[in-house]
Amino acid sequence: MARPRIEVLSRDEVEEIHLRSLNILNRVGVRIEHEEALNMLRDIGAEVDLNKKIVRIPEHIVREALKRTPPIVRLYHRDGKNYVELYGWSTYFVVGSAAYYYIDWRTGEIRRPMTRDLADVAKLADALPNTHIMSTALVPADIPEIVADRWRMYVVLKRCSKPIDTGAFTIEGVPDAAKLMKAVVGEENVSRKPFMIFAICSSPPLKWSSLTVQNLMDCAKYGIPVHIIPMPQTGGTAPATLAGAVLQANAEFLSGVVIAQFTKPGTPIVYSGSPTVFDQRFATSCTGYIEVGLMSAAFSHLAKFYGVPSASYTMVSDAKTFDQQATLEPAFGALISVLSGINMAIGSGMMLEENGISLLKLVIDDDIAGSALRFAKGIQIDVETLADWLIEEVGPGGLFLKYRHTREWWRKEHFIPKLLDKKTTDTWKKSGSKTLDTVAREFIEKVLKEHSVEPLPPDIEKSLDNAMLEILKKHKVEKVPEI
């Protein structure tokens, strides 16, 4: 069975991008706005200009850092038993993270999200079979900004059993997240059975903010997995050429690997990316351009070359409302993700320049993900599936309906979408001529009403509550919204 795959770079081209990245790190360097990191990199032999905060990294340091990076990253469910394994060609779909706006699934209104909206996203994601990793999807407006990053983790932890893609926007973000994780799985399992992965974004071109570096070094110290996310904008903060954008992003990724692996060897790292097309007509950063798929596929090739798992923001749409564009862009993205072996396809439910989450999009993305995953499995060829004996038996002009083979295999062979319409026109009309958004809305309503999330064991729930309470107290936050 030939597994369907796409390759957008040849082996030689991958090698060339790698070598030129080393050259960039060695000749141009990266700007790192973090004193501890600068000192550490100077101590290991990088050429550091403390005034300009520029670090030029010699090749041997990058090679050593890559050697220290583990090839497999496991993300556990909060029960510490189930996990997804980021490795090889398997793709897992991930809800888009940290949206500042919520597109209300009932009214279509774009507004600031509340804690209860985040709880809805978590519950829905918990129920969706092809959405494997939840995220701290929204930044709720009903909690002070200063603790919003950790509040999101807490809310999601309570309402979803799946692994969580998250990030910190405060200095205390990671250490406090480790406390929340400890409350759930115990101290020894924070690094052994991590259920959160942190987004670490470089600031292109070739720059690292002090907060990001602090978060990265903290994750390394705790052994919490990170995905390092270069975010080149073609023609904005990166060359307009896809090759140039990929090259620059690759250099940024490698510099992140160096910071992490020399903070603590063995830090679990995923090669991630959020490439965008900087639209010269509107000065917007677009995620739905087809070239985003090409760059994402290139990142995946490079990740496989380095022997680390990969991720990319391939599921985000630029649509402003839930229309055709909101579904066709992630459909391309999902297919590209599975065909190029991107391990984490990020952005389910996400729209509006990575700024908004829509539940309508989330549930349809789940069908899109299911379809893409099915496609990636390809065509199974063996005696049983070729079924030449059956063709012989049925003969010219016969029908396959009544055979056991049909009953057994039809179900196995096809991905059956939950929401896409396959009825006859007449039945469709009789059942109300519903368009996809109506079907999706009804589905959401049903799941939110009927689905129940596996609750945390009472003692664990209590220790989690206490850990969060302490964090809130530290910041003098007394009133919190109901979840």
Residues that bind another protein (CB under 8 A): 33, 100, 112, 139, 145, 148, 169-170, 203, 207, 209, 211, 233, 235-237, 240, 278, 280-284, 353, 355
The two three-digit tokens of residue 282, written as one number: 């509107």
Least distance between another protein and beta carbon 207 (Å) = 7
Nearer to another protein, 53 or 193 (CB): 53
- Compare residues 282 and 433 and give the one whose CB is closer to another protein: 282
Closer of 213 and 364 to another protein (Cβ) = 213
CB of 339 to another protein, least distance (A): 31
**What minimum distance in Å lies between the beta carbon of 470 and another protein?**
21
The least CB distance from residue 282 to another protein, in Å, is: 7
Q: Say which residues have a Cβ less than 8 Å from residue 295's Cβ, sequence separation at least 6.
A: 232, 242, 245, 246, 249, 273, 275, 312
Spatial distance between the Cα atoms of 1 and 359, rounded to a whole number of angstroms: 36
Distance in Å, CB of 229 to another protein, minimum: 15
Nearer to another protein, 98 or 338 (CB): 98
Closest C-alpha among 102, 113, 211 to residue 167: 211
Q: Check if the beta carbon of residue 252 is closer than 8 Å to that of residue 196.
A: no
Provide the edge-to-edge strand list for the sheet that holds 350-351.
110-111, 101-103, 356-358, 350-351
What 3-state class would DSSP assign to 223?
Answer: coil
E-strand ranges in 187-238 read 196-201, 207-208, 226-229, 233-234
Nearer to another protein by Cβ, of 194 and 288: the residue is 288
Nearer to another protein, 13 or 291 (CB): 291
Helix (H) or strand (E) run with residue 92 in it = strand 92-95
Find the shortest distance in angstroms from Cβ 43 to another protein: 25
Question: What is the DSSP secondary structure assignment for residue 310, as one 8-state letter?
Answer: B
User: Is 336 in contact with 6 (CB distance < 8 Å)?
Assistant: yes
Question: What is the residue-wise DSSP string for 131-196?
Answer: --BEE--B--TTS-HHHHHHHHHHHHHHH--S-EEE--SSTTHHHHHHHHHHHHH-TTHHHHS--E
**Neighbouring residues of 389: CB distance < 8 A, sequence distance ≥ 6:** none
Q: Which is nearer to another protein, 105 or 278 (CB)?
A: 278
* 202 vs 261, beta carbon nearer another protein: 202
Cis peptide before 205 (omega within 30 of 0): yes
User: Under 8 Å CB-to-CB from 158, ≥6 apart: which residues?
Assistant: 119, 122, 456, 461, 464, 483
Minimal distance in Å, beta carbon 288 to another protein? 17
Q: Spell out the residues 6+ positions from residue 467 whose beta carbon is closer than 8 angstroms to its own.
A: 179, 180, 182, 183
Distance in Å, CB of 482 to another protein, minimum: 22
Measured from the CB atom, the residue of 42 and 320 that comes closer to another protein is 320
* Nearest-approach distance from CB 273 to another protein, in angstroms: 18
